[in-house]
Amino acid sequence: MLRSLQLPRAATARSAFKQSSLPSVIAPRLRRSYATESEEKDLVIIGGGVAGYVAAIKAGQEGLKVTCIEKRGTLGGTCLNVGCIPSKALLNNSHLYHQILHDTKNRGIEVGDVKINLEQLMKSKDTAVSGLTKGVEFLFKKNNVEYIKGTASFAGEHEITVNLTEGGEKTVVGKNIIIATGSEATPFPGLEIDEKRIITSTGAIALTKVPESMVVIGGGIIGLEMGSVWSRLGSKVTVVEFLGQIGGPGMDAEVAKAAQKVLKKQGIDFKLSTKVMGGDASGEKVKLQVEAAKGGKEETLDADVVLVAIGRRPYTAGLGLENIGLETDDKGRLVIDSEYRTKIPHIRVIGDCTFGPMLAHKAEEEGVAVVEYIKKGYGHVNYGAIPSVMYTHPEVAWVGQNEQEVKASGVKYKVGNFPFTANSRAKTNLDTEGFVKIIADAETDRILGVHIIGASAGELIAEGTLAIEYGASSEDVGRTSHAHPTLSEAFKEAAMATYGKAIHF
């Protein structure tokens, strides 16, 4: 996928960036003009998010002199600070609260008056975030990575000016430079984000009280996860989605339908194939005008809080790209070749600000691969084996192609399903929603896609990712022993159902 979007590889640049041939890029006489003298680094990374910090640690492990510049004041980027990590803390704890309220009697557990302490809930989230961000700083020190807190912009092709967070300015020089500035929430036209009433995911993890009602614009992973949190805590949540299914276009249609049914049962309302025409936040309630995506009668939705979750866009503001002649495409992405190089070969780009899915683990893989290209001349990321997970309950996870995509490709295929209602561990856990679905090539039996809805789907999908990475057939998986009783047996049985028949269903 990535190769089809990238610039042609420049033949003249192929050997110019091996570690042994890196030139001294700044003549001594030019260095006198720097605000603060800095030694020439093997690698300078702009951005200390998941892509940037992983690249920095890998570079340090490889013996490179590396500097990482981050303006947030803490490492980890969106993921650790206001994304993946805090949202999962809230998802986990809100699920426990919801389970205690609604799912203990049948388990033989009787509880008294159960209350939510939102302040403590948020404090627990913040503790998790703080511990992990400080852990990254420790790894920087361990691997001799220089960490500069400040805002970076290009002064030249090898020179970066940093406005330091604590005041002053510094110039950093790099033989190689990696841009890893990440992404930001896409705003909705006509709705001004204040992170209190009109919020993005950043505001959704920091509300100070449970809103009576919430409208989520966008039925993708972020919208559904955050909608789930506040629904469990007592908010009346309505999700408005332009497409005809939840989960975004990557989610398998059969799985999306099952997920919507379960979330509806949990209290979330859905308005699919519906577009938001506009909004008004001037009154006591936020009012949204919506209508059918194909046109129709307009309807007004009232909410205390509106969560805008229509996706994310690359963040490159203030980088000074114009100073070095780098441009972005029509979606704001920096254009790269198959080795992450821009048209200036020693400047490479990874993570959310370039092509591919905006996922933390994809960014991590690129962080390792890009350093390997710089140091060794080769690297590897298999973009066909990048898993996705939605951490609602039940979880939804997938890797590879969904059935819509396989069907559209014209490849003859077969499908195996196995429900968790027939899995012994799921039954003992009293948590049997969902199923495992495997799609394989009808002729070769090679696994093309794995789709799971159920408890611990995010953990189980690792087996599917490994199967696709190694080109496994469904029979390979079906003939591999799985421990009993485990949820993973559902994966094995789905594989057996793909090439033959399941035993327990």
Structure-token pair, residue 238 = 């309505």
334 is in an annotated binding site: no
Listing from the earlier edge strand, what are the strands of the sheet with 413-419?
Answer: 388-390, 395-400, 447-454, 435-441, 413-419
Structure-token pair, residue 271 = 């308005």
Peptide bond into 86 cis (omega under 30): no
48 is in an annotated binding site: no
**Chain centroid offset of residue 353 CA:** 13
377 is in an annotated binding site: no
Cβ–Cβ < 8 Å for 396, 250: no
358 is in an annotated binding site: yes
One-letter amino acid at 25 equals V
170 is in an annotated binding site: no
183 is in an annotated binding site: yes
310 is in an annotated binding site: no
Where are the extended beta strands (E) located within 272-374? 274-280, 286-292, 299-303, 305-308, 312-314, 347-349
Half-sphere exposure of 89 (CA within 13 A, CB side): 24
Distance from C-alpha of 462 to C-alpha of 202, rounded to nearest angstrom: 28
361 is in an annotated binding site: yes
**Chain centroid offset of residue 66 CA:** 26
158 is catalytic: no
372 is in an annotated binding site: no
Where are the extended beta strands (E) located within 317-425? 347-349, 388-390, 395-400, 413-419
241 is in an annotated binding site: yes
Cβ–Cβ < 8 Å for 105, 116: no
Which alpha helices (DSSP H) does 103-205 contain, by range? 118-142, 201-204
476 is in an annotated binding site: no
Distance from C-alpha of 270 to C-alpha of 263, rounded to nearest angstrom: 9
352 is in an annotated binding site: yes
Structure-token pair, residue 97 = 């609260």
220 is in an annotated binding site: yes
Distance from C-alpha of 376 to C-alpha of 379, rounded to nearest angstrom: 8
Cβ–Cβ < 8 Å for 305, 197: yes
All residues at 6 or more sequence positions from 240 whose CB lies less than 8 Å from its CB, including other chains: 215, 216, 217, 218, 219, 271, 274, 276, 288, 290, 301
One-letter amino acid at 330 equals D
All residues at 6 or more sequence positions from 129 whose CB lies less than 8 Å from its CB, including other chains: 76, 80, 81, 85, 86, 89
Distance from C-alpha of 500 to C-alpha of 477, rounded to nearest angstrom: 12
88 is in an annotated binding site: yes
Structure-token pair, residue 480 = 């591999």
430 is in an annotated binding site: no
Which of 158, 451, 484, 504 is an active site residue?
A: 484
Q: What are the catalytic residues?
A: 484
Residues contributing to the annotated binding site for NAD(+):
218-225, 241, 311
Residue numbers in the known binding site are 88, 181-183, 218-225, 241, 311, 352, 358-361
- Which residues are annotated as part of the binding site for FAD? 88, 181-183, 352, 358-361
